[in-house]
Chain A
Amino acid sequence: MEFKIERVAELARLNLKSEEKQKLEKDLGAILDYVKKLEALDTKGVEPTSHVLNMENVFRADEVKPSDAAEKALEHAPHADGRFFKVPKIVHRD
């Protein structure tokens, strides 16, 4: 199986505890084996379905409307400073 749990967890920005890693790796291996049975189906010339409604692009008028969404969103931020979300340091100085 080409599934490497450390690599995928890194992509998903997810730390895993060592005790859960083994179980998850086993589960995911079994699930991928299960979904592999799709390989046997011939899908040559079949269009993929990304959306079930036969709707084209949906447009609306580009109008300015009053909104207090930004202020309200900041009220429940884990850490805000004025009009900004505050986060820990991104780059450390050596």
Chain B
Amino acid sequence: MTDLCSLTLKEAIEFAKKDGAQPLLEAFQKRATALNPKINAFLRFGAAPINKREIPGLLQGVPVSIKDNICIDGREVTCASKILAGHVPPYNATVIEKLKSAGATLFGQCNMDEFAFGSSCETSAFGACRNPWDLERVPGGSSGGSAASVAADMTLAALGSDTGGSIRQPAALCGVVGVKPTYGRVSRYGLIAFGSSFDQIGPITKTVEDAAILMNILCGHDPKDSTSSPERVPDFTQSLKRDLKGLRIGLPKEYFIEGIDPEIEKSVRAAADLYKKLGAEIKSISLPHTEHSVAVYYIVAVAEASSNLGRFDGVEYGLRVPTKDLREMYFETRDQGFGQEAKRRILLGTFVLSAGYYEAYYLKGQKVRTLIRQDFEKAFKEVDVILSPTSPTAAFKIGEKVADPIAMYLSDIFTIPANLAGIPAMSVPCGFTSGGLPIGMQLMARPFDESAMLRAAYAFEQETGIYKKKPKL
């Protein structure tokens, strides 16, 4: 019998139709128990045994894991922060309702950067998560636990959330597929908020087909999220075709810049050549305001974050530090509850929103955000999909960038623009460095045209078969 943990989601569903989901749950329980002490991808994991032979729904009871900023009724959720440790939400996020109705078993709750603030999963209050390809390196972040658990075959698939690249960058660094849908495609109800005008939930999977299967389940309008879109949801699995004739793919010159690892550039350019062979048209394009993306993001997203994190004050849930009066309780609870990166972003966000600085920083940031959106609008008149590296480097060493926040922030330079513009984007494995670390390429598409990028991703993946290579653990 083949190792059940190495199955794709699609294969596992087929298995469960014949033999039930219980053997899968047992296999994942065993593997996660063995590997989690090394990788720290899960903050908690485990599922009650499934006695029933048949589980209704497309997913047939197979296990899926969830980033620990998505609420599950009756289960602890922490955002990897001490300020929420022990908090048990009294309701399900909409994506959890949808997964449950589709027959998923909720398995692991995945480690992450504290409140999704980070690109390395090192800011977790419960210990760094490690990259399954090299345990001395980071898995990327903030959905590092989600990506690492999928790469290490500790789960079939996982949900992540993406505010500035938090699904795509760890997917690239761990050699798996990660999709950030169009803003508004997936309900944010029950996702603990970071940057409300950026946040999107999306799947992290072993294959493009698995991602399309989960996209079909997750997407759609939700009356509980006023920013969720009424746009019609197509059957994404129908877009998985190997024929790319007529597809126009743009290579933005601003994404191939100094500072990018030459092996990454080479790998993504080779992917462009392959696309040409597969019948796509490759065009050079320009997104002139790209270099300002990180600056805009670190004004607007931290402003939203500082406002969203105002609710953690010790009154209604989570940590409360006992003090003699209320005012002191706020200050002490927040001091002891938040880690360094959370404090850094709360302070920065508070500053850019404060009287006297609002216009120079926040309003200016919002205006440049408009320029970046317009760059994409223009580009998408000429091309259907944009191809770039996902991250300028492969997985870096644990501790390498901790002391220098700007160096850490720049690791998201290629993923942030899609969040600023609200467009869909995904990362697909496209090769390996000479040191054996995974390389990811990013595909971006027009708003609500996830089908176009999934089609391009699928054709590449099937042609190269890169996803079949696994880390040695």
Contact = CB atoms under 8 A, between A and B. Distances in A.
B405 interface: yes
A37 B361 CA distance: 11
Interface in B404-428: 405-406, 409, 420-422
B227 interface: yes
B197 A13 contact: no
B431 interface: no
Contacts of A39: 360, 364
Given A15-B334, A28-B348, A88-B326, A55 B354 contact: no
A13 B330 CA distance: 6
Interface residues of A, number: 51
B223 to A, nearest CB: 6
B315 A38 contact: no
A52 interface: yes
A85 B316 contact: yes
A39 B369 CA distance: 13
A14 B373 contact: no
Interface string A40-77: 01010011111111010010100000000100110111
Contacts of A34: 294-295, 298, 406
B87 A76 contact: yes
Nearest to A17: B335
Contact of B367 (A5, A48, A78, A85): A48
Interface in B304-328: 306, 310, 313-320, 322-328
Contacts, number: 165
Interface string B345-374: 011101100100100110111111111010
A38 B296 contact: yes
B292 interface: yes
Given A11-B354, A14-B334, A24-B340, 16 more contacts: A12-B346, A14-B343, A24-B347, A35-B299, A39-B364, A41-B368, A47-B367, A48-B369, A49-B373, A51-B197, A52-B197, A78-B319, A88-B322, A88-B328, A88-B329, A90-B326
4 interchain residue pairs of minimum CB distance: A52-B422, A72-B90, A48-B366, A78-B320
7 contacts: A17-B335, A31-B344, A34-B295, A34-B406, A35-B299, A48-B367, A50-B366
Interface of B: 87-88, 90-91, 183-184, 197, 223, 226-227, 229, 289, 292, 294-296, 298-299, 306, 310, 313-320, 322-332, 334-335, 338, 340, 343-344, 346-348, 350-351, 354, 357, 360-361, 363-371, 373, 405-406, 409, 420-422, 447
Interface of A: 2-3, 5, 8-9, 11-17, 20, 24, 27-28, 30-32, 34-35, 37-39, 41, 43, 46-53, 55, 58, 60, 69, 72-73, 75-79, 85, 87-90, 92
